[in-house]
């Protein structure tokens, strides 16, 4: 949604509702990833509840080191209480087999760990950063949230992604304009086993592409029988014109990382389409 389509007062009205909701449901554990939505939610929970709000960030091989560092820095900047927990979803064969509902098993472990923490420390509620737009996407992790009765305060108060970005910008949050950055496992096609080595290769390749000046892109991992996997590079259409000048050096870099070759997707990168799945 374009910011011009947002009614001027609507985000502020929803923000007031959000703050009232947070007062009612605290003390609160917030699943925090450092993305746009969870950063905004943790920032608001911190402002409303103070020490009665605690962010929980799951650290695993599927989380890039740069993303973890950015999330920690952002939380520190707005004074949030934050804990890092190590999660081991990769050890769960249901996750590692990489089915279409892979994200369910990731969230299952996270919410199980958060629930234990809540019981140990007297936190009343678990929350995560699902927004109002997410109701129109297929999100297996939402099933785990429902199972554990994890609240989605942003969705409950009708805050859309565009509105969250707008309010984040007004509040000076560093995540206001960052592109979506799902976990590294999302770069591996469903049905291809997720391994720590595959995730490391993808992370290293994306770090290199980012160092070449690209902002919105993906490096996909494609396994090959008895051969090294190939890397497919998808670059946002707005940045495609920069690619020809550095394509050969990116190819050399991904080969050095362990990929067999680099395949450049001529169609570029397109964000996943939203699919309605709720009445």
Least confident of 39-48, 52-61, 114-123, 133-142: 133-142
- Looking at per-residue pLDDT, the higher value among 233 and 8 belongs to 233
Q: What do you get for the CA distance between the two ends of the chain, in Å? A: 21
CATH topology of domain 3-170: Rossmann fold (3.40.50)
- The model's pLDDT over 188-237, given as tens digits with 9 standing for 90+, comes to 999 999 999 999 999 999 999 999 999 999 999 999 999 999 999 999 99
Q: What is the pLDDT of residue 50?
A: 97
Q: Which two tokens stand for residue 41?
A: 């939610």
* Averaged pLDDT of the chain: 93
pLDDT for 22-33, tens place per residue? Answer: 999 999 999 999
d(CA 212, CA 110): 34
Q: What's the rounded mean pLDDT across residues 127-145?
A: 88
In the predicted model, what is the mean pLDDT of residues 101-130?
96
- Decide if 242 contacts 228 (C-beta within 8 A): no
- Do residues 136 and 274 lie in contact, with contact meaning Cβ atoms separated by under 8 Å? yes
Give the pLDDT mean for 27-53: 97
pLDDT given at position 8: 55
Cα(131)–Cα(163) distance, integer angstroms: 10
Average of per-residue pLDDT across 144-150 = 94
Which pLDDT score is estimated for 272? 67
Residue 278: pLDDT band (50, 70, 90) is very low
Q: Which residue has the tokens 């998808």?
A: 234
pLDDT for res 57? 98
What is the model's pLDDT at position 277? 37
Beta strands in the chain (DSSP E): 28-31, 53-59, 82-86, 125-127, 217-224, 227-235, 262-264
pLDDT surpassing 60 at residue 279: no
Report the distance separating Cα 114 and Cα 108, nearest Å. 10
pLDDT (mean) for 108-129: 96
pLDDT band at 141 (very low <50, low <70, confident <90, very high): confident
Higher pLDDT among residues 59 and 139, named by residue = 59
Does residue 162 have a pLDDT over 70? yes
pLDDT tens-digit series, residues 169-187: 999 999 999 998 899 999 9
């Amino acid at each position: 949604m374009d910011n011009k389509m947002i009614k001027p007062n609507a985000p502020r009205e929803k923000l007031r509702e959000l703050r009232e909701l947070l007062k009612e449901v605290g003390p609160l554990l917030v699943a925090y990833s450092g993305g746009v939505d969870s950063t905004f939610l943790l920032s608001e929970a911190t402002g409303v509840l103070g020490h009665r709000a605690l962010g929980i960030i799951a650290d695993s091989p599927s989380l890039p080191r740069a993303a973890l560092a950015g999330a920690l820095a952002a939380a520190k900047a707005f004074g949030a209480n934050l804990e890092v927990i190590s999660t081991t979803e990769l050890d769960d064969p249901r996750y590692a087999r990489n089915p279409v509902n892979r994200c369910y098993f990731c969230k299952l472990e996270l919410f199980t760990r958060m629930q234990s923490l809540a019981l140990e420390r007297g936190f009343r509620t678990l929350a995560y950063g699902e927004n109002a737009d997410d109701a129109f996407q297929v999100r297996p992790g939402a099933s785990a949230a429902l199972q554990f009765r994890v609240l989605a305060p942003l969705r409950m108060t009708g805050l859309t992604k565009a509105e969250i970005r707008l309010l984040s910008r007004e509040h000076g949050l560093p995540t206001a304009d960052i592109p979506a950055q799902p976990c590294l496992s999302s770069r591996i096609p469903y049905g291809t086993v997720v391994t720590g080595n595959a995730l490391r290769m993808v992370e290293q390749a994306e770090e290199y592409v980012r160092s070449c000046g690209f902002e919105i892109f993906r490096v996909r991992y494609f396994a090959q029988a008895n051969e090294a996997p190939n890397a497919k590079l998808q670059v946002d259409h707005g940045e495609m014109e920069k690619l020809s000048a550095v394509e050969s050096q990116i190819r050399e870099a991904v080969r050095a990382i362990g990929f067999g070759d680099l395949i450049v997707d001529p169609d570029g990168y397109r964000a996943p389409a939203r699919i309605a799945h709720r009445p």
